[in-house]
A and B are shown apart, each in its own frame.
Chain A
Amino acid sequence: MNVDLTELDDRITKCQRILEDDPSSQIFAALAEAYRKRKSIDKALDVCRKGLEVHPNYASAYIVMAKIFLDQGSYEEADRQLRKAIDVGGRNRSVDVLESEIFIKLGQKEKARNILGKLHKADPLNDTVKKLLVSLDEISAAIEPYKPAEPLYQMDITRPSDDAPRRAYTLSNALSIIKILPRVLGVVAVGKDGMILEGHFDGMLSRDELGALASGAFDNITTGIDRIKFGKPLDVLIEAEQSKLWMISFDKALIVISMRDDVNLGSLRLKVNEIFKNTVMG
């Protein structure tokens, strides 16, 4: 945290120096953004407004303005500033992400979902987009009446109280949530036919390789263990020196989770059980 603030202060000093040397420089947008990140909202707004008087067609400055108003909770004004940015500079990926954030805040979740869906399709590994999709689902679940979903697998965990909000996740959402849990390296869903349904993995293998290898190992373990009348394993946890691999068998898929060795397994198990208790396969 201290390092970040120091870096921001350093950036502010450099931008100020450039702006003093050349008051017509477009560096004002970067200075305003640094002030915004430093939580100096009034200064950010002041610098950006003055700069826009000199450069009324500078799209990046309108994006900074939109972010400032978003931080302030003035979502309509944030939306207006973003429209100006699009008018003068057109669309790009960061504009789309910011627009979806503003739509979420304005409660226009279908518009947000539409944009985020396209962004996710184009770049499935983008964490910012995944987090926004997750937050969108959480908002939707909190607002919309809960439709009971058939659980994939009944886990032995404490049930939430009846009045606690419940959420129905798609497989894709469930995996996205698991992927961003602390110390999770990857998560892959493999269908019973061996096809990779969905997943994310940042390791040296691709998600397809991880899924194929893990499901192959799981099948061999199942075959072997059946010979001692153990029955089909539902859950296999493999611990090595640097990582852990957890395979959970459901009716329709095998879920493979790769984790760092220092993961809090108890906490992760509770979260994963809770997520999959309310997950329906799409």
Chain B
Amino acid sequence: MLITKVEKKENKFQSALEYLFEYHGVKTAMIIDKEGLVIGCLNRDKIDSEKFSALMLLILDQANQLLTRLNELPVYSMVMKNDNSWITIQRVGDLVLVVRAAENTDELLKVRIGQAVDMVNNYVKEKYPQTTR
């Protein structure tokens, strides 16, 4: 499907995902809401995005339960690594940004994730000012 320039500019979620997805080593970039609904997803592998998003929220929930027992506030960010890839789950207000990357992806991806978080945050503030007041 072709996205016109105007449409692309207006869809800042998509812009944030593309900004991440163009980085070398990134396999999946996804934005989901707090109920697990996929708001946007770019994927290089055959991953079921609905299933993936549900699992990411489950994992986030596990971590939140642990932090609650430690008298902490909810998870801000979470990184899981194994031999061949790493997954970052980043809370952005009521949304969650998920990035899956190959193990050899350089650490500067974290900077890009930070920038993408700002893009999403700014867009949410601009588009839904009443929810962020």
Q: Which residues of A pack against B, CB within 8 Å?
A: 203-205, 209-210, 213-214, 216-217, 220-221, 224-225, 227-228, 230-243, 245, 258
Contacts and interface: CB of A to CB of B under 8 A. Distances in A.
B55 A238 contact: no
Interface of B: 47, 51-52, 55, 58-59, 62-63, 65-67, 69-85, 87
A154 to B, nearest CB: 10
18 contacts: A205-B70, A209-B69, A213-B70, A214-B66, A216-B66, A217-B65, A220-B59, A221-B62, A230-B80, A230-B85, A231-B83, A233-B80, A234-B81, A236-B80, A238-B67, A239-B78, A240-B74, A242-B72
A216 B72 CA distance: 17
A190 to B, nearest CB: 13
The 3 nearest A-B residue pairs measured at CB: A235-B81, A241-B73, A217-B66
Contacts of B51: 227-228
B75 A240 contact: yes
Nearest to B66: A217
A221 B80 contact: yes
A11 to B, nearest CB: 39
A227 B84 CA distance: 16
Contacts of B65: 217
A228 B47 CA distance: 8
B109 to A, nearest CB: 14
A204 B76 CA distance: 21
A230 B80 CA distance: 10
B67 A240 contact: yes
B92 to A, nearest CB: 14
B72 A243 contact: yes
Given A224-B55, A230-B85, A236-B78, A241 B72 contact: yes
Contact of B59 (A225, A237, A239): A225
B80 A235 contact: yes
A278 B2 CA distance: 55
Nearest to A235: B81
Nearest to B58: A224
A231 B78 contact: no
Contacts of B52: 228
Contacts of B85: 230
Contacts of A203: 70
A225 B80 contact: yes
A95 to B, nearest CB: 39
A224 B57 CA distance: 10
A213 B79 contact: no
A204 B71 contact: yes
B66 A231 contact: no
B102 to A, nearest CB: 12
Nearest to A226: B55
A217 B62 contact: yes
Contacts of A227: 51, 55
Contacts of B80: 221, 225, 230, 233, 235-237
A233 B69 CA distance: 23
A236 B79 contact: yes
A220 B59 CA distance: 8
B86 to A, nearest CB: 8
Given A232-B82, A233-B80, A238 B69 contact: no
B76 A239 contact: yes
Given A217-B65, A231-B84, 18 more contacts: A205-B69, A205-B70, A220-B59, A224-B55, A224-B59, A224-B62, A225-B87, A230-B87, A234-B81, A235-B81, A236-B78, A238-B75, A238-B77, A240-B67, A240-B75, A240-B76, A242-B73, A245-B66
A213 to B, nearest CB: 5
A20 B66 CA distance: 61
A242 B70 CA distance: 11
